[in-house]
Structure 1
Amino acid sequence: MANEYPQALTIAGSDSDGSAGMQADLHTFFRRKVYGTSVMTACVAGNSYGIHDAVNLPTSFIDNEFKDLADDYHVRASKTGMLSDSELIRTVIKNYQKYDFGPLVVDPVITTKHGNMLLEQSAYKTLRDELIPLADVITPNFFEAQKLAEMDIKTDDDMKTAAEKLRSLGAKNIVLKGSHHDPNQTKVSDYILLESGKSFWLTGDFYPTERKNGTGDSLSACIAAELAKGEDIETAVRIAKKFVDVAIANEIQVGHKFGPINHWAPADEL
């Protein structure tokens, strides 16, 4: 019967080297046995050395992508990636509210993994005030959490306080990724705060590797994939954490510098 197979949607930019963005999302959907659909918002020219050019797609074209998917497919969960300006963010919001594409996972791409801002202030404000309140799950990295919570995070208690502040922005469930910037650390702990009020830590090994491109994309995509299959939020987050940890631990030698994680590595038993 048509559309019985679980389907998920990535709303993101195309990364030409395949390590991040829409390509990482689709790799993840495929590995988690979910049919992946996509709304492309931008195209990025880059490789393992860096990003060298980027262009946004016209919002009228993005509208048509949403419409065509809604006319034919049964998308059961969605996720966003890099949305570079306010017009683009509002186009995504308008269409997500117009069509039923299931629960929304927002990967708030605001800063790099090293803390450098990727969005101008106006776009950041639009994302914070208008997109995040629609999120069923939000997955900020350490620096994005500090920016959104407007505080420094130095302790476990700070992580908990920041998560509460993020939930006050309107997101229902928070996956706050821990710092992984100390070369001497051996573990990374993420803090999860659920809509129910339940909270817990997910701790994994720290891997001192430069092959981590697409980590955040893949984590959020895996959560969306599991939600599309009918898993609850907590189960989806736990599976996603394991999926990404295994993908980082088993390096794949692609590219020369900042390479991708290995989406082939995670076992189906996760």
Structure 2
Amino acid sequence: MKGIISIQSHVVFGHAGNSSAVFPLQRMGMEVWPIHTVQFSNHTQYSQGWKGRAFSADDINQLVTGIDNIGKIADCQAALSGYQGSAEQCQAIINTVNTVKQQNPTALYVCDPVMGDPEKGCILADGITEQLINEVMPIADVIVPNQFELTQFTKMEINNLEQAKAACQKALSMGPKMVLVKHLHSVADDTFTMMLATESGCYITQRPQLEFDKQPVGVGDLISALFTGGLLNGMSEVDAFEHATNACYGVLKETHQRQEWELQTIAAQNELVNPSEKFRAKAV
């Protein structure tokens, strides 16, 4: 079985971070070894607040060491990282990636560089953004930023499709082999646009923009997981991109139909492996 170390946040109730990523990967046939950067009762967009705590970087390092001690790091085919609670945790991510690649040089590192969202506020501990930009993202095989995070990485303004394409191409020159922009909000108002850039070309997918009273949380975590799972299942880069688009939309459509704002990942689980919608990637 394919093994994936997923180092992200975790919520007890709902679907965000590992709670959004682990089950979809398992449903796609993966063995997932989740390591939590924080454990909260619920995601942080609830007006009532949340309970829980962050873990130390040493906690992450110890868990990876424990997996290594039983000889399983060599079976790890990908490391996936998301929300980090401290700059020290970023260093633990780097240590983990180095450990995995020493034993399995073909393993993928997929980095979702969570820096926040300008509309929700960028709430990060000191030093995380700098660590992500300068040390973590350059060593990734795949980065999965949103538009804001891509501008932070490349220092390029994005207001249209051509600028987004140029920013992706610059990002590819900075270390990563693939860039999946999980939301390009400046490209169109009535459709949800994602972009994939690789050495072979640049592509976009566009699907309907569903309107929610409160925007669901954990969508980016879901997209990163679906794309990672597709690649490890032998899909081409473009096929994995289309699968991430279509499967994520299936979950969102179920969530919308149920008038919920927590992702209805379990109810829509068949969409994770056999999406009912087929939005195709277009070369740009």
Superposition TM-score, scaled by structure 1 size = 0.86
Q: How far has the Cα of 1:20 moved from its partner?
A: 0.3
Partner of 2:66: 68
Query: Is the Cα contact below 8 Å between 2:248 and 2:272 reproduced in 1?
Result: no
Provide, for residues 12-40 of structure 1, a one-character-per-residue CA deviation record: whole Å limited to 9, x for no partner: 12122231011111121122121221122
In the alignment, the residues of structure 2 paired with residue 88 and residue 145 of structure 1 have an alpha-carbon distance, to the nearest angstrom, of 21
Worse-superposed segment, 200-209 or 72-81? 72-81
Partner of 2:274: 269
Change (3 A) 1:61 1:241: same
In the alignment, the residues of structure 1 paired with residue 135 and residue 245 of structure 2 have an alpha-carbon distance, to the nearest angstrom, of 27
In the alignment, the residues of structure 2 paired with residue 147 and residue 114 of structure 1 have an alpha-carbon distance, to the nearest angstrom, of 15
Unpaired segments ≥5 residues, structure 1: none
Query: Is the Cα contact below 8 Å between 1:9 and 1:39 reproduced in 2?
Result: yes
Counting only pairs closer than 5 Å after superposition, residues 50-199 of structure 1 correspond to structure 2 as 50=47, 51-70=49-68, 71-73=70-72, 74-100=75-101, 102-112=107-117, 114=119, 116-120=121-125, 122-180=127-185, 185-194=189-198, 196-199=199-202
Partner of 1:31: 27
Aligned length: 263
Secondary structure of 2:25 counterpart: helix
Partner of 2:279: none
Query: Is the Cα contact below 8 Å between 1:49 and 1:258 reproduced in 2?
Result: no
In the alignment, the residues of structure 2 paired with residue 190 and residue 175 of structure 1 have an alpha-carbon distance, to the nearest angstrom, of 7
Alpha-carbon RMSD across the aligned residues, in angstroms, is 2.6
Q: Aligned pair 1:42/2:38, yes or no?
A: yes
Identity percentage of aligned residues: 19
Change (3 A) 1:253 1:156: closer
Q: How far has the Cα of 1:181 moved from its partner?
A: 8.3
Q: Which has the higher contact order (CA 8 A, sep 6+)?
A: 1
Aligned with 2:251 (options 235, 247, 267): 247
Secondary structure of 2:164 counterpart: helix
Query: Is the Cα contact below 8 Å between 1:40 and 1:57 reproduced in 2?
Result: yes
Partner of 2:240: 236
Superposition TM-score, scaled by structure 2 size = 0.82
Question: Counterpart amino acid of 2:171?
Answer: L
Change (3 A) 1:129 1:12: same
Partner of 1:208: 211
